[in-house]
Amino acid sequence: MVLNNEYKRRQSAPGPKVSQNAFGKERRYPMTSKFQP
């Protein structure tokens, strides 16, 4: 059950960013294919 919930959570749209870096230059990573830097 937990794995199913985690799967659905990853399908949801990303939430808003409220950090200081959200409004300036920062690294941007693709949100597909579980990209890990």
Position 34 confidence tier, pLDDT thresholds 50, 70, 90: low
Residue carrying the six token digits 């200081």: 20
Other CB atoms within a 10 A radius of the CB of residue 2 amount to 6
Is the whole-model pTM more than 0.85?
Answer: no
Helix (H) or strand (E) holding 6, with range, is helix 2-11
Confidence class for position 22, pLDDT limits 50, 70, 90: low
User: Cα separation of 10 and 35, whole Å?
Assistant: 12
pLDDT tier for residue 28 given thresholds of 50, 70 and 90: low
